[in-house]
Every structure is written in C-alpha cells, then in structure tokens.
Amino acid sequence: QTVVTQEPSFSVSPGGTVTLTCGLSSGSVSTTYYPSWYQQTPGQAPRTLIYSTNTRSSGVPDRFSGSILGNKAALTITGAQADDESDYYCVLYMGSGLWVFGEGTKLTVL
C-alpha cells in the first residue's frame, strides 16, 4: 500500500523559513496528485492551507506557499510565527476517488 512520507518533526526559529516535504514510498509526487496541505492544532479540526499544489485557501496568510521540489510536494513557511506551531499534513489524490494522508509533521517554533 502506498505510504505518503513526511518528516516526523521540524523546528524553526521565529521569523525563519522552513520547508516541509511530502513524498511517496515509491514514485514521485507531481501536480497530478493535486497535493494539498492542512494545519492542525491540538484539539481542533484540521484547517486547509494549500490545495492543487500551490493555491492558498481563503484567508491563509501569504507566508504559506506550496510547490513541487524535486520528486516531492513542499510547504514553505516564510517568516514563521509562534502560532504556526502545529501539526501539518499533506494529502495526495491517488485517483479512482481515493485520497491518502501523509504521516504528518510536528512543527516547533522556538
């Protein structure tokens, strides 16, 4: 079964830039997987950040951006803020109506 891989954890300093990635256990992520990104803080439902690789959801600050870097999807946070400390999940559309979540990255801002 396909595994969508993400870094388990990442740390960034306030004001710094961090890039989280989303890969496949076998194969490359491309725009045809329509990668999307979601932010989740403890006790809350996920919030949509980015969809279709690089489109920001309504109300999402422009310090969040999405792209394809090499063979992975990427979420870049530029000018990280304390309230960006969250879990981040990518989702890939696998075709035939099926979606798969990545394993998630716990981002610490300190």
Partner 1 sequence: EVQLVQSGAEVKKPGESLKISCKGSGYSFTNYWIGWVRQMPGKGLEWMGIIYPGDSDSRYSPSFQGQVTISADKSISTAYLHWSSLKASDTAMYYCARHDYGDYVIPYWGQGTLVTVSS
Options 51, 60, 63, 76; binder of partner 1; rule CB under 8 A: 51
Residues 74-93 that bind partner 1 (CB under 8 A): 87, 89, 91, 93
Q: Is 65 in the site for partner 1 (CB under 8 A)?
A: no
Report the residue number, 38 or 72, with the smaller CB distance to partner 1. Answer: 38
Which region, left, alpha or beta, applies to residue 27 given φ > 0 means left and ψ of -120 to 50 means alpha? left
Q: Is 10 in the site for partner 1 (CB under 8 A)?
A: no
Distance CA 35, CA 47 (A): 15
Q: What is the CA radius of gyration of the chain?
A: 13
Options 15, 69, 71, 103; binder of partner 1; rule CB under 8 A: 103
Give which of 103, 100, 87 is closest to 10, Cα–Cα. Answer: 87
Distance CA 29, CA 23 (A): 6
Which region, left, alpha or beta, applies to residue 52 given φ > 0 means left and ψ of -120 to 50 means alpha? left
Least Å from the CB of residue 14 to partner 1: 26
Q: Which stretch binds partner 1 (CB under 8 A): 10-18, 35-43, 64-72, 77-85?
A: 35-43
**Residues at the site binding partner 1, with contacts judged by CB under 8 A:** 1, 34, 36, 38, 40, 45-48, 51-52, 55, 57, 87, 89, 91, 93, 96-104
